Amino acid sequence: LRKELLKLDVIHADETPYRVLDSERAKDYVWTFLSGKHAEKPIVLYHHGSRKGAEAWDFLTGFSGYLHCDQYPGYLRLSQQDVTLVGCMAHARRKFHDSLPKDKTRESDATSVANQGIHYCDQMFSLEYAWKDLSVEERYEKRQSELKPLLEKFSDWCSKKSISVLPSGKLG
């Protein structure tokens, strides 16, 4: 299955900590590697180990294509072996959500930078959801005509807002 997965043009990856009671380490990690949801032959593989980038490098040796992942630095070395890292908007949205003050609801502070970021992400997710049953070609056309302008607007907005947030803060 790993060999079949590595033949794909797009692979999704993520790592998640978990605690093993009878382990010398405080945390172990499960790495998830999977095909896209529209793949002809869906594949989901799990790999257990540390959070070292070598886990991803070793597992993905021989892969060339797009790796859809968060921006964990452990993936960066893969870009040296003909792998294009593609950011994950769910992870980006989570950063905006995590920067909301704990005592405020989204509705009570709709104009905050964090809520505006969440709103952009939700708009993009809504478009993708509406297109879930379209063919690959139709989704591509929709992404070019509708999603790309929204993503460019979001990117411009992020650049403008970046000068007004602390780089070391959650929004930074």
Indicate if the pLDDT at residue 106 is higher than 60.
Answer: no
Topology given in CATH for the domain delimited by 2-87: Nucleotidyltransferase; domain 5 (3.30.420)
Q: How far is CA 56 from the centre of its chain?
A: 15
Indicate if the pLDDT at residue 107 is higher than 60.
Answer: no
The domain segmentation of the chain, as residue ranges, is: 2-87, 89-162
Across the chain, mean pLDDT equals 88
Residue 66 β-bridge partners: 10, 84
Indicate if the pLDDT at residue 105 is higher than 70.
Answer: no
Indicate if the pLDDT at residue 108 is higher than 60.
Answer: no
Distance (Å, rounded) from C-alpha 124 to C-alpha 151? Answer: 8
Q: Where residue 147 falls among pLDDT bands split at 50, 70, 90?
A: very high
Q: Where residue 123 falls among pLDDT bands split at 50, 70, 90?
A: very high
Could you tell me what percent of the chain has a pLDDT over 70? 94
Stretch (H or E) spanning 16: strand 10-18
pLDDT higher at 84 or 108: 84
Which tokens sit at 27? 């945390």
pTM confidence score: 0.80
Which tokens sit at 78? 């893969």
* CB atoms near residue 33 (< 10 Å): 24
Q: How far is CA 33 from the centre of its chain?
A: 13
Indicate if the pLDDT at residue 83 is higher than 60.
Answer: yes
Number of residues that this document lists for the chain: 172
* 67 CB-contact burial (10 Å; exposed 0-12 / middle 13-18 / buried 19+): buried
Distance (Å, rounded) from C-alpha 18 to C-alpha 24? Answer: 13
pLDDT tens digits, one per residue of 35-49: 988 888 899 998 888
Would you say 151 and 128 are in contact if contact means Cβ atoms under 8 Å apart?
Answer: no
Indicate if the pLDDT at residue 145 is higher than 90.
Answer: yes
Distance (Å, rounded) from C-alpha 96 to C-alpha 158? Answer: 11
Pairing mode of beta strands 83-87, 28-34: unpaired
What amino acid is encoded at 75 in this protein? Y
